[in-house]
Amino acid sequence: MKNIKYLVLDVDGTLTDGHIYMGQDGEIMKAFSAKDGYGICHIGMPNGITPVIITGRTSRIVENRAKELGITEIYQGVGDKFTKLTEILEKTGVELSQCAYCGDDMNDYDCMKRIQDAGGLVGCPADACDEVIELADFVSKKDGGRGAVREFIEWLVK
């Protein structure tokens, strides 16, 4: 296993199936996989991998899920994911090469590419966009929100 310290995670389309259920008062539901949650808490974290959520949307639902899983590094409403990750790394001293990233769409691509170029690892769900699939070191057999993150974590620790 590479010395991966951070697993950077996108939410919509990666930790969820990408569906956003909206009611008249705004976002009301997202579906998360218990398998991904187990992988984060019981496989990744015990192996020294800290999950870091960086997402473009802002949602109390994501806050609640992160709290439930014990994820303390959560950044929402982020337009430039690489700049945010750089800020985090500067504070912690973790190197870009010690990062893995699981994302599914073009808003993840730049950050994924830079991690990969630095020697880190990138993965994606089976239903990620074509450009992300072509870039990925690991492509899950599962779609976003259906255990893809757990598969990536299992691959990282083997």
Cβ-contact 88, 135 below 8 angstroms: no
Rounded to whole angstroms, the Cα distance separating 57 from 76 reads: 6
Rounded to whole angstroms, the Cα distance separating 46 from 64 reads: 22
Token representation of residue 143: 């779609």
Q: How confident is the model at residue 27 (pLDDT cuts 50, 70, 90)?
A: confident
Q: What secondary structure letter does DSSP report for 45?
A: G
Give residue-wise pLDDT tens across range 82-131: 999 999 999 999 999 999 999 999 999 999 999 999 999 999 999 999 99
Per the model's pLDDT, the better-predicted residue between 1 and 143 turns out to be: 143
Give residue-wise pLDDT tens across range 70-87: 999 999 999 999 999 999
C-alpha radius of gyration, the chain, whole number: 14
